[in-house]
A and B are shown apart, each in its own frame.
Chain A
Amino acid sequence: MLPIDKKGEILEAHPDFLLVISYNPGYQSVLKDLKHSTRQRFVTIEFDYPPRDKEAQIIAHESGVDIDTAMDLAKLGEKVRHLKASGLEEGVSTRLLIYAGQLIGRNIPPRRACEVAVSKSLTDDAESQRAIDEVVCTIFGN
């Protein structure tokens, strides 16, 4: 039931009505955090980064790379996220990993693909970029 004061109207929800909201906790949370009273009107499903095998499936599905490469990309994601808060503002998103997968799918060498899609997109700090590149090397080989 939603009263609209100005119009003096009361809207009633459809029996199938479902409100789904999503937000990133911690991220710009000062402006976007829910009020506790609002928050408590919801049931909550927490989404973290998917586990490695799931993320690999997502990457494979979305980018079309084979599952082994997707596994490696997911592994990379996992490793890079370890650096969150001590070098990186934000962990690498599955989206970026998919981009990298798409590039690899178009015969771009994995190192180059990860460089442009992952390390350079994540940070401007040269040292962190280089460190991520090193991890890429370790996973994909030189």
Chain B
Amino acid sequence: LIVIRNLWLSPHLLDEPAGAAAHREAAELGADIHERILAVGDRLAESSAILAQHFYQNAPATWRRLGAEGFDAWVALGERIAGADPISREGANAFFSVRVSELGEEPLAKLTAWGETALRVGEASNKLAGLFLRNTAPLMNAATSTAAIDAWAAAGTGLHGQHGWQGEFLAQAFFNSAAQVLPALSPSAFRLWAGAGSALFPKVREREFFAHFPSQIGGWPPDDQANLMRIVIALAHSDHRVAYEVYRQFPASLAPVPPAARASLLRVLAGGGNKLGNAMGDFAPVAGAILRQIPAPRLAASLAEVERLAQRCPQAVVSALRSLPRVCDEADAERVGQWFAIGLDLVSESARAGLAYFALESRTSINVLHRGSTAASLDQSQGLLRKYLQMMSGSPAGIRPMERFSLRPEIEEFPGEREVALPSRIDLLPSHEENLRLYRLLAAHLAGRRLFGTYAAHAELAADPADPPGRALFRYLTDDRRPALLEDLFTLAEGVRVHCAMSRIYRGIASEAGWVADKLLRAWCEQPAPARSRRLDTLFALALVDGDTVHWPPWLDREIGRSLLDLLRPLRDAEASVVDSLRAAEAIAAALDRAAASIGGDLGEADGSFYDTVAGEMIYYDLYDDEEGPPPPMAEAPAEAPQRDDDSPVQPRDMELALSEETSEESGGTPLSPEELERLLQSGADLRIRQGGADEGVEGLGLYITDLLGKMPSEHLEELRKLLGDPERQKRRPPRRWLERSTDGACYWYDEWDYQIADYRSRWCQLYEIGLDGDSGEFFQTALGDHADLLPEVRRQFQRIRPEMYRTVRGLEDGDDFDLNAAVGARIDARAGIAPSNRLYVARKREERDVATLFLVDMSASTDEPLVEPAGGNGSRADGRPPRRIIDVTKETLAIMAQALEEIGDAFAIYGFSGHGREQVEMYRVKSFAESLTPSVKARLGAIEPRRSTRMGTALRHAVERMAAVSARSKHLILLSDGFPQDFDYGQDRRSNLYGIRDTAVALREAEMAGVTPFCITVDKAGHDYLREMCDENRYMVIDDINALPRELPKIYQRVVRT
């Protein structure tokens, strides 16, 4: 016995402070009791010395707390645990190591319950019981209830039975996470949490899941925790990746959301179950950011609407949530209610239609949202504005929608195309009429650009003679050797010049500008620190009234503002030209750059988002990756920016925080970073220092610049002069994202018809109009050479169209010839005693030939197919050239057509189209209506090559849009294709062509309604099948032998254009 006791009551134990203290305490209890304790220790040591040591350390304290009876019960339970088979010493160690003193009320009952629970776990697996005890032992204190421990063990044991033999591992991982999870999660959610882990297993390994407990949910109420787990479990059944993503990211994303909204959101989503779909994966990380964009007072009501929707159509819930910020932004509470109500009706008719509706993708959805809105939209006022522009400027105009509102419309790359950009929607002022007035002012400004030669400078801008007229300005402004801000500053300066020139002629403009400036400045002054584009707009509004306003923007120092206005003032002169505007913009840009450099940073390289805003790009900025950590919940956020005295210096950091409150998708801007703002303020300060007299040393720069610089302080003039004179004055800037995209050309959005929802999907397709780089013109000449026999024939045919342009007019009193029928009739009348008609003549009346035709060429990959030559050759041609492909024949045909049409003088344009997906529909401009058949057009025709897909509907819509600006009495669109409409996302089912066919059919109908007569030609022999569905029988033609196309197209043209 002594030997055993020496084994465990070793000097090693007694030397430790805890062991020594226990030994001392035990001795103090008296020799009898001490011996009783030692006897138990000896008994335990028979199976494990360490067990006995654990026991001994806590034994005296337990005796004192529980008394003799309690002590015995404690020992008995411990021995049962230790004695289980196979022996779980680990569990017993943990059992005896718990300090009874920390257990709070009724320690024995608690210990007993714990031990009994462990024994129950042990019935499933002793190893688990050990893990359970070991992991829960540190948690055995007053805060942990018996019920929680019980629920925990039950949840863990439940896992053991799942996934066969691997259940053991699941349960082990579960119990191992006790320290972190047990105190954080509410007992009612244990089982759900375990269930989530099990549902994701084995795609997500058990360690991965149970060890990565999202700590944020610790503070959540039990229902929220349970709902999150329900969402994860439901999602795990459809896609484990989405489910795991939601599990890991959703809690963090919801951190800034007020508790009530979070609870409501989780309830909604949990109700949705596995019907939420994969959209949840994208939604989870941004959920908090999205909810934060909804004004706090409207959040609860909005979520209640979503909850109603969840009961009817869970699939649409995530879409609706994502749409909420925009919906709340564009409609008041009442209208939002109506929007949901109408959507709910729609959902019960067709789930697909409902999905598109709540994603704000269908046209109905947008219309309902905007119904009763006071916003003016381009859709509604397009015709009006077009006519206004035509009257004001004297030439027709096409209108391209611009995403964002700006008082300073974009500079056009191809002004010769007679297209202008206007915002797609204006919703800045309270009434519809006022918003429309803003449109009118913008349109007047655009007309002014035409009237006062904005695009007229060539020589000064070192224009490239190969460019279409007017492009020089765009090239100049976007050249990346020039300051990044230049384009924006130019629109500001040129805006002032054009406005003043217009005001001199039109009284209405002057008064209108005063009105607009007053309204807008008043509205904008309430914003503490607007985004950059808005900032420049504000400056422009100030310039419109030459700074004479009571609504001075708070972020703009008066003196800085005044000095900027001074720089712009010379442009108010009647003699000022676009070159002066350019120089003024350059002077300001240089001054700003100088100022930036003086505080040791490059305006450009410091922050990419600076360029984005300057270039008018939409900004993505990380809502979380914030130095300050996640923003505070809305409830705690200050409603307004902190007020400060006018005199105190502006703290950029404060401004940024205030601004990060409003991050609506539509505003498109980004708040200034503190650094940028500081820089702008600094640069302003820099300008202020420069206030002063002129310097003689700058005369070499030309009179106007001298005038301009005269407004600036003398001490910086020399530097500025150097800056202006030295082309290498700045480091080369990183290319702007916008510039990179300019190879893609201007971007347009089009709706698309979805037959399955029986509605348009709003702004569904993004089309880029791209100029083709031509070949050397070789193809065109070769094609004409190859068809040398055909061209004269076509020419003769077209000559024959001419007489057809005469029309016989009957029933004239005087004319070229008798109308025999009328003469006979008159004779009969005379004989019959009736007064005869004297309208007995006919005349041939020449009709003005006023047609415009657009040839739309399918450039899909399938046109790459080589042809089987009719002669039965081996494919390659006699002269060794590669075999002809469908596209080659099409091009040859177009070459002949172009040549012949140019000769008879009919207006025509050629565009090709292709693309890849709805966000990348490409339209290639070969020849616009404005161009004549120049060598570069011929070269571009040669450059038509097969590309990718065939999204026909969108291309047709763009072609019709292009024709809207053409003022011809009869407009035709001839579509040349080799197959049915097809794109990888043209409809949900890739194998079905129905979506594309229906959309194309609708697009063709739209064309007819817009006064453009479409005609489809296909070389696909199966064409009858789908063309019949797309258009009238007399509006299409299938050409069986593609080699006949060059001969057929002129005939078709003759027939189509004549009828």
The residues of A that contact B512 with a CB separation of less than 8 Å are 137-138, 141-142
The residues of A that contact B507 with a CB separation of less than 8 Å are 72, 139-141
The residues of B that contact A30 with a CB separation of less than 8 Å are 809, 843, 845
User: Does B920 reach chain A (CB closer than 8 Å)?
Assistant: no
The residues of A that contact B814 with a CB separation of less than 8 Å are 35
B962 to chain A, nearest CB (A): 16
User: Does A86 reach chain B (CB closer than 8 Å)?
Assistant: yes
B408 to chain A, nearest CB (A): 19
- Which of chain B's residues has its CB closest to A138's CB? B508
The residues of A that contact B510 with a CB separation of less than 8 Å are 141
B664 to chain A, nearest CB (A): 30
Q: Are B391 and A80 in contact (CB under 8 A)?
A: yes
Q: Are B391 and A135 in contact (CB under 8 A)?
A: yes
* Residue tally, chain A, CB below 8 Å to B: 26
- Which of chain A's residues has its CB closest to B387's CB? A131
Q: Are B508 and A85 in contact (CB under 8 A)?
A: no
User: Does A128 reach chain B (CB closer than 8 Å)?
Assistant: yes
- Which of chain B's residues has its CB closest to A111's CB? B508
A83 to B843, CA, bound (A): 31
A7 to chain B, nearest CB (A): 19
Bitwise interface map of B from 388 to 422 toward A, beta carbon under 8 Å scored 1, else 0: 10111111100000000000000000000000000
User: Does A120 reach chain B (CB closer than 8 Å)?
Assistant: no
A131 to B381, CA, bound (A): 10
User: Does A134 reach chain B (CB closer than 8 Å)?
Assistant: yes
Contacting B384 at CB < 8 Å: which of A33, A86, A127, A138?
Answer: A127
User: Does A82 reach chain B (CB closer than 8 Å)?
Assistant: yes
Contacting B390 at CB < 8 Å: which of A75, A86, A139?
Answer: A86
User: Does B444 reach chain A (CB closer than 8 Å)?
Assistant: yes
A139 to B392, CA, bound (A): 10
B287 to chain A, nearest CB (A): 45
User: Does A112 reach chain B (CB closer than 8 Å)?
Assistant: no
The residues of B that contact A82 with a CB separation of less than 8 Å are 390-395
A42 to B507, CA, bound (A): 45
Q: Are A135 and B392 in contact (CB under 8 A)?
A: yes
**Given contacts A35-B814, A135-B392, A137-B440, A83 and B508 within 8 Å (CB-CB):** no
Bitwise interface map of B from 801 to 815 toward A, beta carbon under 8 Å scored 1, else 0: 000000001001010
Q: Are B515 and A142 in contact (CB under 8 A)?
A: yes
User: Does A132 reach chain B (CB closer than 8 Å)?
Assistant: yes
User: Does A31 reach chain B (CB closer than 8 Å)?
Assistant: yes
User: Does A130 reach chain B (CB closer than 8 Å)?
Assistant: yes
Q: Are B967 and A140 in contact (CB under 8 A)?
A: no
A83 to B392, CA, bound (A): 9
B667 to chain A, nearest CB (A): 28
B822 to chain A, nearest CB (A): 15
User: Does B383 reach chain A (CB closer than 8 Å)?
Assistant: yes
Please classify the interface of chain A as helix (H, G, I), strand (E, B), loop, or mixed, using the class held by over half of its residues: helix
Q: Are B511 and A141 in contact (CB under 8 A)?
A: yes
User: Does B509 reach chain A (CB closer than 8 Å)?
Assistant: yes
- Which of chain A's residues has its CB closest to B386's CB? A131
The residues of B that contact A31 with a CB separation of less than 8 Å are 812
The residues of A that contact B392 with a CB separation of less than 8 Å are 79, 82, 135, 138
A35 to B394, CA, bound (A): 34
User: Does A50 reach chain B (CB closer than 8 Å)?
Assistant: no
User: Does B621 reach chain A (CB closer than 8 Å)?
Assistant: no
Q: Are A135 and B388 in contact (CB under 8 A)?
A: yes
Bitwise interface map of A from 113 to 136 toward B, beta carbon under 8 Å scored 1, else 0: 000000000000001101110110
- Which of chain A's residues has its CB closest to B813's CB? A31
A72 to B385, CA, bound (A): 21
B250 to chain A, nearest CB (A): 51
A112 to chain B, nearest CB (A): 15
A128 to B390, CA, bound (A): 11
**Given contacts A30-B809, A139-B507, A140-B507, A86 and B396 within 8 Å (CB-CB):** yes
The residues of A that contact B444 with a CB separation of less than 8 Å are 138
B38 to chain A, nearest CB (A): 106
User: Does B984 reach chain A (CB closer than 8 Å)?
Assistant: no
User: Does A87 reach chain B (CB closer than 8 Å)?
Assistant: yes
The residues of B that contact A33 with a CB separation of less than 8 Å are 843, 845
- Which of chain B's residues has its CB closest to A88's CB? B387
- Which of chain A's residues has its CB closest to B436's CB? A134
The residues of B that contact A75 with a CB separation of less than 8 Å are 505
A140 to B392, CA, bound (A): 14
- Which of chain B's residues has its CB closest to A79's CB? B391
Bitwise interface map of A from 77 to 94 toward B, beta carbon under 8 Å scored 1, else 0: 001101101110000000
Interface on A for B, CB 8 Å cutoff?
Answer: 30-31, 33, 35, 72, 75, 79-80, 82-83, 85-87, 127-128, 130-132, 134-135, 137-142
8 closest Cβ contacts across the A-B interface?
A: A131-B387, A138-B508, A141-B508, A86-B967, A79-B391, A141-B511, A141-B507, A82-B394
5 contacts between A and B (CB under 8 A): A82-B392, A83-B391, A87-B390, A139-B506, A139-B507
Apart from A86-B396, A137-B508: 9 A-B pairs, beta carbons within 8 A: A75-B505, A80-B391, A82-B391, A82-B392, A82-B393, A82-B394, A127-B387, A130-B384, A137-B440
